[in-house]
Amino acid sequence: MFEAVEDLIGEHADLEKQLADPSVHADQREARRLNKRYAELTPIVGAYREWKQTGEDIATARELAADDPDFAAEAKELELRREELTDRLRLLLVPRDPSDDKDVILEVKAGEGGEESALFAGDLLRMYLRYAERAGWKTEIIEANPSDLGGYKDVSVAVKTKGGGPAEPGQGVWARLKYEGGVHRVQRVPATESQGRIHTSAAGVLVLPEAEDVDVEINANDLRIDVYRSSGPGGQSVNTTDSAVRITHMPTGIVVSCQNEKSQLQNKEQAMRILRARLLAAAQEEAEKEASDARRSQVRTVDRSERIRTYNFPENRISDHRVGFKSYNLDQVLDGDLDAVIQACVDADSAAKLAAAQ
């Protein structure tokens, strides 16, 4: 059933030998690539070895059951365990999203609802920052455009693993946060509402895998870089120096601006980070469009429709419309307890990929 795993076990053993060679680590990029592949194969190899051993144990228990009925119950338990391992192996062998281990740039933008939408965007930002803290990730605000009442018109934050090495399979930043992209709807009495009426507004979330220099090649001749004076918070440099930077990638028309940092060089570096991430996302989307329906179902199976989630404050309810998830702990979710919501999307995605692979 799992004949291909034998080849993966051989590859896993070869990788182990290579990683034990000190000379390999002289090239950090190559060492990271090998470590990442080794981390991907380790759970497959471990599950397969247990699956194989369990099969042998079942055969032994059945033989012994002929003389001792107690072994019949043991054989039954081992059969159930082997079924679990079979399902786990099938899932592990489904092609992974190649970006799962990547860090992300997450953007939250106010949408319909004016100032209330900006306040909700601020709530979403705090939710993601607290979730990242719970997960042990690092966060960095790259660009922020605050609103008058303390929310955000738009804000960009980098989220990354602290160690910098490959994450456990399925636990990378992109692997968890990629399901957050879409329109988030809120239903509550706004702070600006004097009559106590419930309003509905929305904020948009965009999640991009952060690109490394090797992921996206940018020709300097394709860039138009404009500098201008910053506005808003930022210290003494605001409105006195041309520190803000706007970068236009002319072939695609993508425009990125940054003014949070005090120096023009720092703002340029931050804007380039966002630009690389957007170009990588655009390239991946184009590749998916050209791929077959089967390939697309393997890469991204949870539909990112317009309204992905509703946050209902009067009922303390959160609902994810893509997978039918619903719970009544909205206050805890907004405090960063987001795992159950995300896991529902992960499970639905995994089930769809498994069905497509069969």
The per-residue pLDDT for range 288-300, each reduced to its tens digit, is 665 444 333 323 3
* Same domain, yes or no: 88 and 13: yes
Co-location of 188 and 122 in the same domain:
yes
Low pLDDT (below 70) residues in the chain? 1, 163-170, 192, 194, 212-215, 231-241, 287-306, 357-358
Domain match, 23 and 57 both: yes
Helix ranges (H only) for 66-114 are 70-92
* 97 is a domain residue: no
Q: Do 24 and 127 lie in a common domain?
A: no
pLDDT of residue 232: 56
Q: Are residues 178 and 283 in the same domain?
A: no
Show the tokens assigned to 195.
């009559």
17 and 133 share a domain? no
According to DSSP, residue 84 is labeled: H
Q: What is the DSSP letter of 219?
A: -
Q: What pLDDT does residue 9 have? A: 92
**Residue at 255 is within a domain:** yes
**12 domain-assigned:** yes
Give pTM, 2 decimals.
Answer: 0.69
Residues 283-302 as b or e (16 or more Cβ within 10 Å = b) = ebeeeeeeeeeeeeebbbbb
Q: What is the pLDDT of residue 161?
A: 86
Residue 295 lies in a domain: no
Same domain? 174 vs 266: no
Looking at the domain assignment, is residue 323 inside a domain?
Answer: yes
* Per-residue pLDDT tens digits for 127-155: 999 999 999 999 999 889 999 888 999 99
pLDDT of residue 11: 92
Residue at 125: amino acid letter: L
Residue 271 belongs to some domain of the structure: yes
Write the DSSP string, 224-266.
EEEEE---SSSGGGTTTS--EEEEEETTTTEEEEE--SSSHHH
Q: What is the CATH number of the domain that holds 174?
A: 3.30.70.1660
User: How, if at all, do strands 152-161 and 182-188 pair?
Assistant: unpaired
The domain boundary, picked from 92, 113, 148, lies at 92
pLDDT, position 55: 93
**Residue 163 and residue 239 share a domain:** no
Beta strands in the chain (DSSP E): 104-110, 137-146, 152-161, 182-188, 199-209, 223-228, 244-249, 254-258, 307-312, 317-320, 325-327
Check whether residue 33 and residue 161 sit in a common domain: no
Distance, CA of 251 to CA of 274 (rounded, Å) = 16
> Which residue, among 241, 249, 242, has the nearest Cα to 280 in the 3D structure?
249
CATH number of the CATH domain containing 265: 3.30.160.20
Provide the pLDDT for residue 246: 93
The reported pLDDT for the residue numbered 323 is 93
Domain boundary among 290, 315, 330: 290
Q: Is residue 24 part of a domain?
A: yes
pLDDT of res. 289: 64
Containing structural domain, residue 70: 4-92
Q: What CATH number has the domain bearing residue 11?
A: 1.20.58
φ, ψ dihedrals at 18, nearest 5°? -65, -40
Please indicate, yes or no, whether residues 331 and 222 belong to a single structural domain of this protein: no
Considering the domain architecture, whether residues 163 and 36 belong to the same structural domain is answered as no
Count of the separate structural domains present in the chain:
3
Which pLDDT belongs to residue 120? Answer: 94
Q: Indicate whether 168 and 112 sit together in one domain.
A: yes
Q: How many CB atoms lie within 10 A of CB 253?
A: 7
The domain boundary, picked from 92, 118, 135, lies at: 92
